[in-house]
Structure 1
Amino acid sequence: MHPSTCLLRLNGTFIEDQNSCQTDHCEGKSKKFIVPLVISIVAAVALVTLLSVLIIFLRKKWRKQTEVVNSTASNNEELLKSKNRPFTYSEIATITANFNTEIGGGGFGKVFLGHLNDGTPVAVKLLSSSSKQGYKEFQAEAQSLMIVHHKNLVSLIGYCKEDDHMALVYEFMANGNLRQHLSETKETVLNWKQRLQIAVDAAQGLDYLHNGCKPPIVHRDLKPSNILLTEQMQAKIADFGLSRFFSTENASHILTSCPAGTLGYVDPEFHASCNLNKKIDVYSFGIILFELITGQPVIIRSTECNIHITEWVRPMIEKGDIRMIVDPRLENEFDVNAAWKAVEIAMSCALQASKQRPDMSHVLAELKECLGRNDQRVLTETNSWEMDPDMLPVAR
């Protein structure tokens, strides 16, 4: 008998029922197969549905973000068009109220206060007519400087080149320049922390010009009057790259007809070799740092003779008394270790041989450490005062 054959008893006799047996067996196997299949199909449909919903959601989100980015880019482009653009000479005259308020000046020309149409204050520098460049060259240089942006660089927002008239439009700096704040006639005196912070700010701007711009930009006329201060006393470097507007056909021409620094701040090696490089600015920065530390001008004048600040400070450094070096107007309110560190940095920057001077990236790192030492000293003194019972006020 076949193993799958079923026996039925009919009138006392057993007979084979193959159909009955096969149906029951197949139904059992079919059920075992169909249930997992249905579950798999439902799971697959659910997964496909979920993925479709997710893709639709992500597409909508991406589309919205793209619209926002495009809108922002469009707005920024409109803003740039409204500010970073050439001005006509008549517009320059209107902005400055016919050159009514002079706020500064130097080797490149006079500076006037101006206001854009939206009321934004600006500084308008009228350049002298000594440039040999044509309009296209001037325009290319100005536009290249307008894309140089850093928090410690004064922003150039426009320019004018019309016939013999040349002008640059800068952001306005409310607190003037560093030279004004270091002047003996200034009633308010910069404290030690402010001086260190100004040095760090200026170093950051210079480091960006040297190491963040391709090709590097050498300032060539760094001095306190070219370090401007915002309303919050943040320092920004001005007039960077300005010498590039003027003809530099050869080195002798640079020294004679093209501004290449200010007396006292010019690298002595550059005078001898005319080798234009980044270390020129490092030397100038060292001199400025000495001025911040000592409060003395770069050329100290007396009835007997005029002496450079490095010659004035050198014998005092040899004596080892930092209080003879630091600006007496601070009334000894400074950290001695931070002051010596600042003097060491200034000395290294002002070395005669340019190869021995550090890169601005190194100078910046050292100044930040110097500022950190000063802050730590202030914090330590504050904590010791708060925790010392003898220093606490006595209740009466």
Structure 2
Amino acid sequence: MMGMLLQFLYVLFGVLISVVLVQAQDQSGYTEKTTSIFYISDAKFIDAGVSKSISPAEKSTHLQQLAYVRSFPSGERNCYRINVTSGTKYLIRATFFYGNYDGLNQPPQFDLHLGPNLWDTVSFPNASLSEISEIIYTPSLDYIHPCLVNKGQGAPFISTIELRTLKNASYVTASAESLAYYRRYDLGSITNLVYRYNYDVYDRIWVPHGFNQWTQLSSTLNHDIFQNDYKLPEVVMSTAATPINASAPFQFYWDPDNVNEKFYIYMHFNEVKILAENETRTFNIFMNGKLFYGPLTPGYLTKNIIYSTSALTGATRYLFSLAKTGTSTLPPIMNAMEIYKVIDFAQSETEQDDVDAITNIKNAYGVDRNWQGDPCGPVAYIWEGLNCSYDNTPRITSLNLSSSGLTGQILSFISELTMLQYLDLSNNSLSGSVPDFLTQLQSLKVLNLAKNNLTGPVPGGLVERSKQGSLSLSLDQNPNLCESDPCIQQTNNKQPDGDQQKNKSNIVILGCLQ
């Protein structure tokens, strides 16, 4: 419970949220010494998988949060449920370090889903290195389901899941697309170091990147740089790259895997020098020969960000060129850049009321099935015993819990599945009465309650719909149940002697007075 409380507090105050796989059992949190990030166990966020330690040789040379993995040797899809604030923008990072945890020296390949949608395919070109999947995502519900999907190429595993809240005004896209990390560069680096938290309050990972036609400019800033919603680290923004040839443009490019891929670019600028009165630095930004933005004059101690207002797509190469204007005395500069690839999350998540209802049913009855992640999607991993409609937002339309070892009464949570058309609770050990709330399920066409221990009258609304033919109602082998009200028990004490032994098991007769 402590882990959950910690997470909620971090969400509320916008502090770093980190969930780490420490061990399969509950463990207290710890602070990573090199980053000062506080990590907690994942045990409260998933009820599947096994905790495994990486090899001792690997453990001695890697950060503490990579020392353990959670492995999923069974089940096609295994999912976390992490509570978030709907409508808030998050940076979500999943890290995978194999570390030969299984002694096989053969890293697996598997899919990573977010809810019902494919996020990434995880593979390991170099087993000695960690793989990272990172996304900027705004959840529409108050939880997320990161899922690992077995594709028959080894057991999926994960090392850490980390969430950070971002400013909603940052990483603006045309239609609230989800953005997968593609590149993030510290262009002016003079240390060749990777920077993350606590240099970066959002724990973005900044990788140094140079080019043989660039040189670096730097400044020891005596004042804080004016911040914008992106809050880039000062150690990154206090250096910049510029062409060695002051008359040449500043150029960079990338080649997509296919022309249909969509990208957003975010370019960060800050003048790192105090310019003399006769110096100016103004330039235009071109993409593939066409003006992208300009003219731009970076401000001193002021962070400027230039980004694509709509997704870039349809090109085999994206060539950016920063060229100084005719009146500029200095060449262009750039401090940092980020490139993200659009992920099309086409599959909508199941209606939250339905998810809450079916989750409560699962927990209350202790349903022993691999019910994890989104109940309705993707279709290949729909929960066993469910059917759904997919017109707009997926809705649960069928629930089959026949022969599932259910005990107790029929749960009121079922009434919250308001689009239910088919309900089969037969061949269990359910007791108590048939509840009136079942009559509220206006779309219900089939109700099977046979072979249970239900008692008392059946609600008249169900009986009436059955007589009208709008509801298929099955109630057989509930010996103490009747279809009319009031129900009384009658005892037959005056049977002929010859019939008494024959009807011994039927002495108690349930009757209904009309």
Q: TM-score range by the shorter chain?
A: under 0.3
TM-score with structure 2 setting the length: 0.18
TM-score with structure 1 setting the length: 0.21
Name the one with the larger helix percent. Answer: 1
